[in-house]
Amino acid sequence: MGSSGIRRRKPAKHLPKVTGSAESGPPHVMWPDDRSGFEPSSFSPAGGARNMWALFNTLQRGRRRDRDRPPIWTLLTLLLIWLAVIGAVAFVLRFGS
């Protein structure tokens, strides 16, 4: 008896260190280029992971398309000023004379 029949564990093989940062974007192996022939369904695990990756990137960076348009509060303020001017003109025309 003894430990002669026990199989020994293999020595651990350490992985090489990763260079670069995770913020640089997903690896190309993970997400193929658009129109490459592989488009995962939104309901598959790959499609769900891709959608979550896009959501996290959007939340982290902010929506860049919205920076091209004026903010909604600016448009609402201009609309209220325009309505106030039209109302004042109508009031003057009705009760001014």
Q: For residue 46, what are the CA distances in angstroms to 29, 38, 39, 51?
A: 12, 11, 9, 9
Cα 41 from chain centre = 18
Q: Where are the domains of the chain?
A: 27-62, 69-97
Contact between residue 31 and residue 51 where contact means Cβ atoms under 8 Å apart: no
Average pLDDT, stretch 21-50? 71
What pLDDT, in 10s, does the model give residues 4-22? Answer: 777 888 888 888 887 766 5
Between CA 17 and CA 28 the distance in angstroms is 19
pLDDT value for 23: 60
36-40, 55-59, 78-82, range with greatest mean pLDDT: 78-82
Mean pLDDT of 67-94: 87
The yes-or-no verdict on residue 81 having pLDDT over 90 is yes
Mean pLDDT of the chain: 78
* pLDDT per position as a tens digit, 46-71: 888 888 888 887 777 766 665 666 77
Q: What is the percent of the chain where pLDDT is above 90?
A: 16
